[in-house]
Homo-oligomer: A and B are copies of this chain.
Amino acid sequence: MSKADPGTIGQYLLACLYQGGVEHIFGVPGDYVLGFYGLMAKGPVRHIGTTREDTAAFAADGYARCRGMGALAVTYGVGALNTVNAIAGAYAESSPVVVISGAPGVREQRDDPLIHHRFGPFRFQREIFERITCAAVVLDDPVIAFRQVERALAAARQHCKPVYIEIPADQVMAPGYPMPREIPETPSSDDSALAEAVAEAAELLGHAVSPVVLAGVELHRRGLQDALVGLVEQARLPVAATLTGKSVFAERHPAYLGVYEGAMSTENARYLVEQSDLLLMLGVTLNDVDTGIYTARLDPQRIVRAAQNEVVIRHHRYPRVLLADFVAALARSVKARGEAFPAPAAPQPWDFPAPDRPMTIARLVERLDRALAPDMIVVCDVGDCLFAAADLRVHERSEFLASAFYTSMGFAVPAALGAQVARPDHRALILVGDGAFQMTGTELSTHARLGLAPIVVVFDNRGYNTERFILDGAFNDIADWRFHRLGEVFGPMQGYEAPDETAFESALSEALANRSMPSLINVRLPPGDASIAMKRLAGHLQSRVKGEG
């Protein structure tokens, strides 16, 4: 693609994605997008076929969280509309996923024909995606198509949100029209506001007796993990994370207190955060999950809160102060506090596995915590396993992926596919409930096909256990699957059934040693078992279902 030959619209889209770090595109082919697939097969971007479109979208989401951008390519109607939930999740969770949808050709659409996969006026699909993306474009005019592509991808990057790009079948090979490249406006801080905010925050920090940092998901989305470490080590501050921000701070770091989530937190984390005389909230979103369904007790009088584009100290605001600038400048302004961080405590000896002891979630999570290796990415589904996993301490930054705010069941297995493709040097540890696994777990077939070797731990309590704590009924029971035998259907995959600790220990050792195929451990949990955090949460949810909320 030179000035003389600008290339086609499809080529340009693929080139821009590749330059943006997207080396793999997930998806299921279909006739309106086949031309694009044919083009992709000739270039460096690799197609990763999934069994369904929603799982392709979850995979692209996992990929985006590891690489800064992910993409999927699907056909019109039946393909794209299958991704609506997963893309809404990427929007809610701030993950920059590019949805490429084929469509009937421009010439084909002209007479408004009744053609297959059609469900209404052709524009309806774009209108649906406009509600779950930060930009939605249809490349039906070659003269402006290059510009549309650039702006859509820039929007995805800037807002950390999904975008929608529809490419009619007859436009894939249409020559584009080169235009001046847009220089995207880089957001910047108001220098005076920044200086004043930093000075005030540093002053407050200097006088505080028990300051604590609460780290949120925006730090991850803006790539500020290192900046956070810089600030924390400079000022010697303890750090808690929100549930959606989990793993934004290295969890084996001596400064780490654990996850703060209101009444669901550990006693220690809750006490230190809520009693702190200066809580420095960085990139925290105040949603119901992160606040333990609004059970957080945080006093604005003692809070300095930096969001993406403003700093709030007590009851006054500094607009146009960027999170990145604030964290960096504050690190330069603060003085180190008294003591250095203590050396991490050596792990205590432990009696796992105890003979004849049935598995419980609490002991399962502690065992997994000890098994975590630096090359692992933990990908966690929704429900019990998410609440329990708050206590896992992952090693490096960015190693815990979950749909912790949007809480869509079925996220983990396909998102782990994307994460592993994005970071082939890492191995996924997938935590997933039985209900969620029944939704998307067969995507493990693709892990197996690609020679990936995730370890899947199924929290099997034969139903929607979180809901049982809110309102129980037969509707919360589900079919009893022998998950560990799925390898019979689409192996290679090694499966294990673990009703007790001895069986689990043996399965886990084998799984850790087996790097040639997926391993699945079906942990049969006793009825009524749950994480403590979940029991606390359920009490609060109950009152809401009853209409008391």
Contact = CB atoms under 8 A, between A and B. Distances in A.
A362 interface: no
Interface residues on A, range: 35 or more
A475 B41 contact: yes
A476 B49 CA distance: 9
A489 B490 CA distance: 11
A117 to B, nearest CB: 6
B105 A91 contact: no
A23 B367 CA distance: 47
A482 B489 contact: yes
Most-contacted residue by chain B among A116, A118, A131, A471 (CB, 10 A): A116
A483 B489 CA distance: 6
Nearest to A484: B489
A485 B479 contact: no
A193 to B, nearest CB: 25
Q: Report which residue of A78, A115, A448 has the largest number of chain B beta carbons within 10 angstroms of its beta carbon.
A: A78
Given A115-B288, A118-B92, A549-B170, A407 B479 contact: no
B128 A84 contact: yes
A464 B38 CA distance: 14
Contacts of A170: 547, 549
A54 to B, nearest CB: 7
A546 B119 contact: no
Contacts of A54: 54, 82
A407 B117 contact: yes
A357 interface: no
B545 A169 contact: yes
A62 to B, nearest CB: 17
Contact of A47 (B172, B475, B479): B475
Contacts of A91: 119-120
B116 A449 contact: no
Contacts of A547: 35, 105, 169-170, 172-174
Contacts of A449: 479
Contacts of A172: 547
A132 B471 CA distance: 32
B119 A124 contact: no
A288 B489 contact: no
A486 B489 CA distance: 6
Interface string A422-450: 00000000000000001100100110110
Nearest to A405: B116
Nearest to A491: B482
Given A30-B467, A132-B119, A479 B406 contact: no
A445 B119 contact: no
B475 A479 contact: no
A196 interface: no
Nearest to A51: B438
Interface string A69-95: 000000001100110110011011000
Contacts of A52: 410, 438-439
A278 interface: no
A354 interface: no
A256 to B, nearest CB: 25
B84 A78 contact: no
Contacts of A117: 406-408
B105 A132 contact: no
B49 A288 contact: no
A489 B481 contact: yes
A546 B481 contact: no
A31 B445 contact: no
Contacts of A88: 77, 81, 119-120
A479 B31 CA distance: 20
A482 B471 contact: no
Contacts of A115: 287-288
A114 interface: yes
Contacts of A486: 489
A544 B105 contact: yes
A35 to B, nearest CB: 5
B34 A77 contact: no
6 contacts: A34-B545, A77-B85, A78-B85, A108-B544, A113-B288, A445-B481
Given A51-B478, A114-B288, A114-B405, 15 more contacts: A29-B464, A35-B471, A38-B473, A38-B545, A77-B85, A78-B89, A81-B132, A114-B287, A116-B405, A116-B406, A116-B407, A479-B490, A485-B489, A488-B489, A489-B489
Interface of A: 28-31, 34-35, 37-38, 40-41, 47, 49, 51-52, 54, 77-78, 81-82, 84-85, 88-89, 91-92, 105, 107-108, 113-120, 124, 127-128, 131-132, 169-170, 172-174, 285-289, 294, 405-410, 438-439, 442, 445-446, 448-449, 464, 466-467, 470-471, 473-483, 485-486, 488-490, 541, 544-547, 549
Q: 10 closest pairs, A vs B, by CB? A: A114-B287, A81-B85, A88-B119, A51-B438, A78-B408, A84-B84, A115-B288, A170-B547, A82-B85, A124-B131
